[in-house]
Copies of this chain bind each other. A is one copy, B any other.
Amino acid sequence: RAADELLETLAQKGVISMEDYEKLKAQRKTAPTVITDDGFRIATGDGGWSVQVGALQQLDLAAYKDDKIDLADGTEMRRSRLSAAGTFLKDWQYRVEYEFATSSAALTDAYVTYNAYKPVLVTLGQFKPPFGMEALSQDKSATFMERALPFYLVSPVVVRAPGAMLSSSGTNWSAAGGIFGEPIGNAQSGDEGYGAAARMSFAPLFTGSRIVHLGLSGQWRDPTQDNSSNTTGQKFDTVRFRAKPESNILAQRFVDTGELTDVKRYTFAGVEFAAQVDALSLQSEYQQVSVKRGAPANLDFDTWYAQLAYTLTGEARPYRVDRGVFEGIKPAKNFARGAGWGAFEVAARISELDLTDGPVNGGRERNATAAVSWYLNPFLRVSANYVKVLDVKGGAFDGEEPSVWQMRLQIAI
8 Å CB contact of A125 from B36, B48, B57, B224: B57
Q: Decide if A55 touches B96 in the complex (CB within 8 Å).
A: yes
Q: A117 contacts B337, CB within 8 Å?
A: yes
- Say which one of A23-31, A139-147, A204-212, A267-275 lies at the interface with B: A23-31
CB distance from A238 to the nearest CB of B (A): 16
A411 CA to B77 CA, complexed, in Å: 28
Q: Mark the stretch among A183-191, A355-363, A395-403 that contacts chain B.
A: A183-191
Give the residue among A36, A51, A86, A98 with the most B Cβ atoms within 10 A.
Answer: A51
- Taken together as a complex, chains A and B put the C-alpha atoms of A75 and B195 apart, in Å, by 13
Given A1-B27, A3-B24, list of 5 further CB < 8 A pairs? A31-B33, A73-B191, A82-B96, A100-B105, A124-B409
Does A316 touch B at the CB level, under 8 Å?
Answer: no
A169 interfacial contact with B, CB 8 Å: no
Give the nearest-CB partner of A73 in chain B.
B191
* Interface secondary structure of A, over-half rule: mixed
Contact of A30 among B20, B34, B77 (CB under 8 A): B34
Asked whether A49 and B77 contact (CB < 8 A) given A191-B72, A409-B124, the answer is no
- Partner of A162 from B5, B75, B105 at Cβ < 8 Å: B75
- CB A93 to nearest CB in B, in angstroms, measures 11
Q: Among A106-114, A129-137, A256-264, A285-293, which stretch is in contact with chain B?
A: A106-114
Which single residue of chain B is at the shortest CB-CB distance from A126?
A: B59
Contact in complex: A94, B411 (CB < 8 Å): yes
Q: A81: nearest residue on chain B (CB-CB)?
A: B96
Q: Cα distance A380–B113 when bound, in Å?
A: 11
Identical copies of this chain, number: 3
A15: contacting residue among B2, B10, B162, B336, CB under 8 A: B10
A66 CB to nearest B CB, Å? 10
Interface residues of A in 45-84 (CB under 8 A from B): 48-51, 53, 55, 57, 59, 61, 70, 72-77, 80, 82, 84
A155 within 8 A of B: no
Contact, CB under 8 Å: A59 / B110: yes
Interchain CA distance A124-B92 in the complex, whole Å: 36
A17 to chain B, nearest CB (A): 8
Tell me which residues across on chain B come within 8 A of A189, comparing CB atoms: 72
User: Can you report 17 residue pairs joining A to B where beta carbons are below 8 Å apart?
Assistant: A2-B23, A6-B20, A32-B34, A34-B42, A34-B44, A40-B49, A40-B51, A57-B96, A57-B110, A75-B182, A75-B192, A77-B185, A82-B84, A89-B377, A100-B107, A110-B411, A125-B409
Min CB distance, A307 to chain B, in Å?
A: 27
